[in-house]
């Protein structure tokens, strides 16, 4: 685990990926540009005006050195969110604190027999992107299944990227799931809720399965419920959500 440090970054890019998600590119100012500063799947805090901070998953893999990528969704009606986006859009530099988070991957610790399932909702894809790109950069041959759930297809702001991974790597599969197909013209893929789709597809469960869930507490808790019903142990499911939004205790039936 790397120690948490405050580091200075240049803001090198700010672009819209769809109607409400922006990609922010940062470059760490460091004396050792080749040094790894975080593990795939960890997050950072942006140090904002008036001492405020905001946490975002690092969407880039550590193999990219000092170049960092963030995916930030615009939240209508949120003054804090608007301030974050305006700061990143108009400023040329910012301080960050990293790395943070205990849910991550390091290729040196990955067992070749592990089967990975990555489940994302909304900008939870950022954390998954980091982990998958780290595995691919290190030529991991592990089975990698990626599920991305969204309300409409347009919300999957980088859909072509996991499609490309699946096309170029035989060990990668990508299953996008849309919950409102009536609002996604021409959608021919899976429909319904992503946790249900993943659970329905899961026919074999063994000790080598590792599930990484990235999204809202509601999605993650629903996924845990569905997977436990299929025989997946809770310790096989990894999510940062568990640290700040613990799973509600189930009430025993009388």
Q: What is the pLDDT of residue 247?
A: 75
Whether residues 78 and 113 fall in one domain: no
Residue 80 shares a structural domain with residue 202: no
Looking at the structure of the chain, the number of domains it has is 2
The domain in which residue 40 lies consists of: 5-100
User: Same domain, yes or no, for 220 and 125?
Assistant: yes
For 188-218, b/e burial (b = at least 16 CB within 10 A) is: eebeebbbbbbbeebeeeeeebbbbbbbeee
User: What are the tokens at 145?
Assistant: 């299944």
At 178-237, the pLDDT tens digits run: 999 999 999 999 999 999 999 999 998 999 999 999 999 999 999 999 999 999 998 999
**Is residue 95 domain-shared with residue 220, that is, in the same domain?**
no
- Residue 251: inside a domain, yes or no? no
Six-digit token string for 80: 């804090």
pLDDT along the chain (254 residues), means of 10: 92 98 94 74 97 97 94 98 98 97 95 97 97 97 98 97 98 98 95 97 95 96 96 95 78 46
Residue 223 to residue 242: CA distance in whole angstroms: 13
Same domain for 203 and 112: yes
What CATH number does residue 208 fall under? Answer: 3.40.50.80
Same-domain status, 140 and 236: yes
**pTM of the complete model:** 0.94
Q: Are residues 10 and 135 in the same domain?
A: no
Across the beta sheet with 115-121, the strand order is 190-191, 172-178, 144-150, 115-121, 209-214, 237-238
122 domain-assigned = yes
Helix, coil or strand: residue 237: strand
* Same-domain status, 61 and 78: yes
Q: Give 3-state DSSP helix, strand, coil % of the chain, rounded to 5.
A: 30, 30, 40
The CATH number assigned to the domain holding 88 equals 2.40.30.10
246: left (phi over 0), alpha (psi -120 to 50) or beta: beta
């Amino acid at each position: 685990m790397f120690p948490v440090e405050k580091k200075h970054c240049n803001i090198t890019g700010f672009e819209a990926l769809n109607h409400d998600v922006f990609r922010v590119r940062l470059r760490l100012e460091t004396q050792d540009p080749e040094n790894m500063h975080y593990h795939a799947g960890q997050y950072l805090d942006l140090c904002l005006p008036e001492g405020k901070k905001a946490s975002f998953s690092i969407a880039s893999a550590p193999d990219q050195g000092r170049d960092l990528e963030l995916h930030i969704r615009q939240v209508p009606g949120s003054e804090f969110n608007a301030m974050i986006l305006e700061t990143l859009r108009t400023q040329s530099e910012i301080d960050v604190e990293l790395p943070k988070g205990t849910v991550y991957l390091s290729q040196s610790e990955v067992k070749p027999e592990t089967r990975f399932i990555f489940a994302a909702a909304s900008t939870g894809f950022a954390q998954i992107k980091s982990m998958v790109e780290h595995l691919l950069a290190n030529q991991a041959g592990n089975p990698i299944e990626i599920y991305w759930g969204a309300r409409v297809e347009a919300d999957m702001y980088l859909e072509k990227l996991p499609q490309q991974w699946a096309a170029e790597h035989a060990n990668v599969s990508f299953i996008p799931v849309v919950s409102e197909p009536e609002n996604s013209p021409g959608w021919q893929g899976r429909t319904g809720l992503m946790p249900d789709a993943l659970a329905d597809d899961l026919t074999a469960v063994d000790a080598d399965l590792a599930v990484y869930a990235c999204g809202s507490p509601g999605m993650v808790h629903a996924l845990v419920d569905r997977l436990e019903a299929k025989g997946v142990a809770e310790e096989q499911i990894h999510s940062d959500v568990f640290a700040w939004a613990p799973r509600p205790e189930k009430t025993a039936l009388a």
